[in-house]
Amino acid sequence: MKMGHGQKLGRRKEAAIIALLIQPSLEKAAAQAGIAKSTLWNWLQLESFQAEYREAKKTAIGLAVSTLQRGCQLAAVTLLTIVRDVTAPAGARVRAAQVILEMSFNALEIDEIIGRLEQLEKSSRNFEADFTT
């Protein structure tokens, strides 16, 4: 984990960040890192430590999202299978249909918002170009 100007956090601080990502409490994270809870709390007040901890959390969340994304196709097939299965309980079929519809509507909304945003960005660039020339 690199900090600004090429510096690195010490190994104990890196171990503390890993422990914070894994453990459910400050006490357990400190114990795993082999430091006092007060030391970990003090480190959490340091801007450089906070920045590295934020980066580590972003990385961990990104990995989790990637894992979930790999299961999206299977999840979609599962929902469609349940909707088509006339022997499945009605509640399961209705819920699967509801999820499919909600996700489809959400995808359409997001697509529309992205289109509007792209149009606004294009208009903004054109306005800036007209204004600066």
* Annotated domain spans of the chain: 1-70, 72-133
Residue range 85-110, pLDDT digits in tens: 999 999 999 999 999 999 999 999 99
pLDDT band at 130 (very low <50, low <70, confident <90, very high): confident
pTM for the model stands at 0.59
Tens digit of each residue's pLDDT (9 = 90 or more) over 16-59: 999 999 999 999 999 999 999 999 999 999 999 999 999 999 99
Helices (H) and strands (E) in the chain, counts: 6, 0
Contact present, 79 and 88 (Cβ < 8 Å):
no
Q: Provide the pLDDT for residue 5.
A: 43
Radius of gyration of the chain (CA): 24
